[in-house]
Structure 1
Amino acid sequence: MTLDNPDPRPTRSGDAGQRPGPVLARPGRLLTGLAALTCAGMAVGVGLSMSSGGKAAMVLPLAALGGVAVAVLALTRFAAYVMLMLAVRSCVDLFKLSGPTAGRADVDQASRAADLSTLLAVLFLLAAGLWLAAQVRRDGRLRGSPLGWSLLLVGATGLVSALGANTPTPSLLEALRIITVVLMFVVLEQLMPDTRAVRRFLLACYASLALALGYTLVMSLLGDPPSEVKGSFSRISGPFSQSTTFGRYLMFMVIFGFAIYRYLDRWLRGVMAVLLTLSLVFLLLTNTRGAIIGAALGLLVVAILHRSKRMIVMLCVAAVGGGLLLPTVADRFSQLADDRAVGGDPTGNTLAWRVDYWTQIVTLANHNPVTGIGPNMTQRETDEAKKPHNDFLRAYVETGFVGLLAYLAMMLLSLHTGRLALRRAPPGSFERGIAVGFLGCAVAFVAVSAASNVISNVVTLWYLFAFAAAASTVAYRSGVGTGGAVAPPGARPTP
């Protein structure tokens, strides 16, 4: 991947890198129609399998038929395929066979490998790899950015560490999941040549939010809210297998949504207002303290950069109102005064527990300080059987000094990309909303990563780095607002 300008030949907006032609048009439409028919068959198959009972009976036909449908779409309309993945990924965990996996060392790897999310990840790896190879063969290069290079290093160090792990299978699976995030960013950098394309992919991201909120709202109204019990609290988990994943997903969506809200058309602002209101309510109901604090930090960044005193006041009102109207949230934060021992109940002062746990796991890297013990291996090497709950420490323990340097570079370049996009975005433009939104998300990402397993939530990282790709388009593109081509890093924006 070089950092040169892309081929200046015109391409269809939103289908960057794919040269339209009359020869391929008819077969493409035919195959897309076949994909739609396959989706219809998939729905029938799922309905029949649900009647027989059992989650596996429902998921396996869904995986087989759905895999054929999306594979055909990936081969014929790759940009549409990526948009579809972004739109539906938030609800894929509803069909998870392995159940919650965070912090568990006893997960059946066979069932996890058969999860729909894993199968879609494998399909995405294959489709993205083939598509990127085709772009390199045609143009001789890919559009790139420093953040993209740092992500490639994170993926490479994880893969190398996994090869040397004591239990390679789960470690390699984790490494491949992280590589899907890397490829999503690289692919989206190619597919976002201008603001119109960026808008379409952001629409797909918020379509996923509408699906996730719709499912959670409908199930709640039916008297069976999707939730999990942790300690003394019942916490909303939405379409995800864990409340913490739902909380972090909503954190990024809320921050970015507030940033671009003022630049949307009137009818879109109405839709976004509903989505953001529901998101804030469900974010509080997840009782995920890290995500709530991260959202507050990100929104504060958005308010400051937008110079919005009104938004700061709204944040204060929301904080007070949330504590009064949702007493479980206030109770959750009040538990910071309670002690929790390692191995104890999953409530109380979990920060104190984390610090104690960190001192126990940091020595694991002594076995191999250069490349670490392998991704996803910490919980298999400790009596507590928990992940590190600190992504910086995890990068060191599981991928060594090399992996830690790559991870720190990714963090710093995420902040740099947001700042550069902010500097180059025209005032009062949608591009400025993108820059502000991603910078707020990047600040929240860094803060929450210091005491959480954010890097494990691959589904949330897909959306975070979709926002990053949008910010990269703003940062490294000449002729902002004119649909111009992406400029190489370091190039001056067009006056």
Structure 2
Amino acid sequence: MLTNQSSSFLMSFWVGLAGVGVGIVAGFLAGAEPLYLGLAVGAIAIAFYFFAKFEQAVIGLLIIRSALDPFSDQQVPAAFAIALDLLTLLYVVVALLIGQRVHTDKFWWLFAAWVALQGFWVILIPLQELQFDDAVLLDSIREWVRLFSWLMVYLLVMQLKDRLQPQKMISALFFALIIPLTAALMQIFLPVSLLPTILQVTVDPISGEISRINGTLGLSNTFATFLLLFIGLAWWQLGQSQKRWPWLVLLGLLAFIYVGTKALFSLMMLGVFILVLMLPRLNLINLICGVLLFALVIGLFASTEFGQQRLGSLVQTPLLNPDMDISRAILLAQGDHNSFNWRLSQWTYLLKAWEQYPIFGYGLSTSRYLTIYNNYAHNDYVRAIAEGGVIGILAFLAFLGTQATHLIRLIRHTPPNSAQNKLCWVLLALLLSMFVGMITENIWTHTTFFFYWWTLLAIAGWNWNQSRELNAL
């Protein structure tokens, strides 16, 4: 095994050798296109900082991701994901060359196998084995790259194992809330005319006021799942910290903004989350706290005109109206603006399309082309069966089950009431609430949520007893 000094020397050697090659390329670019040279110089600077200050660079990348979605039209989140993939792969290659250990676990290999399997549907499109031709190939490739980026996030965070304390690593993630929460508060308290153009919001066509907030995540539903994840983390921190009032204040703020998203599916997710969270420590105090938190969110949601309309719309659906069947709901979906009836219609069209290609479906990211609405499925299980067929839905369910099994195994093998054990319970509660949310929402498309989800799942699998103190941040 190489010493730290020899590893650093070899790391510097290989990075320096790469720098020589990049310098030759930069000389060529200077004569061909100065703009490309500027981009290349920026990339070199980032790569050197990444290797020189690895821990700080990774934490910085994790924090900044929550602020990038407003720049989606400029492809900034996509460029960020590709850059992160390349940096992670470069780090792994250099680590292998110098004999340094690359940290993985069993779950990562299962994750990698599932991502590789998803590439099968991308390959089938140019082979003309599916309904669509090369016109949707680019969409499928983008979707696969997005899934691959999740795998790289998990792998990158695993490289911090035994370098940073898990508790401090998780605490650092709360800095990712600063910009989204600031944007959300601006959307709540500022008029539309004073908001920056990049903070696009849903505006009521009659009053001209903001009806739903989205922070920096573009869509209110996407922002809701992001907030729920950090509500879970704040709840976990509340049980770990001696000073509880800052975390109580943060929980209240997150709950207030959570209601501002006005996402009806998020109420179901919150209810499941609280129920699962209370199971291992079910007592009167926890039960009262959980009921009060849920009642607070429901009360705030129902106190708004928009919330009352959303709750009232459920009465005009087959869910709560026994006199209405699904066929009538589908007919009404064309003009009654009832989002649940619209979903029933969308799911029906997708399932009918799936019947034409039941085994392999239509390919990754094709569900929005399969119905008259040209929209996402708004049900991740229906999406999986339409895009992947029977094989795809089975693989999807198996992957979801693998995550649950992984967390349950960690819960069983960690000391009861330990910080790691409690974090795993929070993640399991989030996962089960996600399973429920997937029934009516496109949770699988919430890229920012999963960016932090895979980060936390990787940290939960660390050996917390062998983590070293963070020397500098």
Flag whether TM exceeds 0.5 (same fold): yes
Q: In the alignment, is the contact (CA less than 8 A) between 2:273 and 2:430 conserved in 1?
A: yes
- 1:160 Cα shift? 2.4
Equivalent positions of 1:29-428 (< 5 A) are 70-97=46-73, 114-138=74-98, 142-165=102-125, 166=133, 167-193=136-162, 196-224=164-192, 226=199, 227-229=201-203, 234-266=211-243, 269-307=244-282, 308-323=286-301, 325-339=303-317, 341=330, 344=334, 347-348=337-338, 350-366=339-355, 368-428=357-417
Q: In the alignment, is the contact (CA less than 8 A) between 2:262 and 2:301 conserved in 1?
A: no
CA distance in 2, matches of 1:275, 1:68: 38
Q: In the alignment, is the contact (CA less than 8 A) between 2:7 and 2:100 conserved in 1?
A: no
Q: Residue by residue, what CA displacement relative to the aligned partner does 1:224-260 show, whole Å, maximum 9, x if unpaired? A: 4652148988211111111111111112221232133
Larger CA deviation: 368-377 vs 221-230 = 221-230
Secondary structure (helix, strand or coil) at the match of 2:159 reads helix
Letter in 2 for 1:292: L
Q: Residue by residue, what CA displacement relative to the aligned partner does 1:174-225 show, whole Å, maximum 9, x if unpaired? A: 211121112112222332337x432343233211122211222245333346
Q: In the alignment, is the contact (CA less than 8 A) between 1:256 and 1:437 conserved in 2?
A: yes
What residue is the counterpart of 2:24 in the other structure?
none
- 1:19 Cα shift? 4.8
CA distance in 1, matches of 2:302, 2:251: 20
What residue is the counterpart of 1:430 in the other structure?
419
CA distance in 1, matches of 2:90, 2:4: 19
Secondary structure (helix, strand or coil) at the match of 2:217 reads coil
In the superposition, relative to structure 1, how do residues 66 and 249 fare at CA in structure 2: closer, same or farther (>3 Å)? farther
Larger radius of gyration: 2
What residue is the counterpart of 1:468 in the other structure?
457
Letter in 2 for 1:211: I
Structure 1: tracts of 5 or more residues without a match: 1-6, 13-17, 32-59, 98-113, 485-495
Structure 2: tracts of 5 or more residues without a match: 20-35, 126-132, 318-328, 469-473
Q: In the alignment, is the contact (CA less than 8 A) between 2:376 and 2:442 conserved in 1?
A: yes
What residue is the counterpart of 2:27 in the other structure?
none
Secondary structure (helix, strand or coil) at the match of 2:241 reads coil
Q: 2:470 aligned with 1:481, yes or no?
A: no
Q: In the alignment, is the contact (CA less than 8 A) between 2:259 and 2:301 conserved in 1?
A: no
- 1:393 Cα shift? 2.2
Secondary structure (helix, strand or coil) at the match of 1:234 reads strand
- 1:131 Cα shift? 1.7
Secondary structure (helix, strand or coil) at the match of 1:463 reads helix
CA distance in 2, matches of 1:210, 1:96: 19
% same residue: 19
In the superposition, relative to structure 1, how do residues 317 and 84 fare at CA in structure 2: closer, same or farther (>3 Å)? same
In the superposition, relative to structure 1, how do residues 129 and 305 fare at CA in structure 2: closer, same or farther (>3 Å)? same
Letter in 2 for 1:483: S
Q: 2:447 aligned with 1:458, yes or no?
A: yes
CA distance in 2, matches of 1:320, 1:454: 21
Q: Residue by residue, what CA displacement relative to the aligned partner does 1:412-464 show, whole Å, maximum 9, x if unpaired? A: 12212222222223233221221121111111111112222111111111111
- 1:11 Cα shift? 7.2
Letter in 1 for 2:290: I
In the superposition, relative to structure 1, how do residues 185 and 265 fare at CA in structure 2: closer, same or farther (>3 Å)? farther
Q: In the alignment, is the contact (CA less than 8 A) between 2:150 and 2:454 conserved in 1?
A: yes
CA distance in 1, matches of 2:4, 2:431: 31
In the superposition, relative to structure 1, how do residues 451 and 432 fare at CA in structure 2: closer, same or farther (>3 Å)? same
- 1:87 Cα shift? 0.5
CA distance in 2, matches of 1:135, 1:369: 44
CA distance in 1, matches of 2:107, 2:418: 23
CA distance in 2, matches of 1:10, 1:347: 65
Secondary structure (helix, strand or coil) at the match of 1:481 reads helix
CA distance in 2, matches of 1:385, 1:280: 33
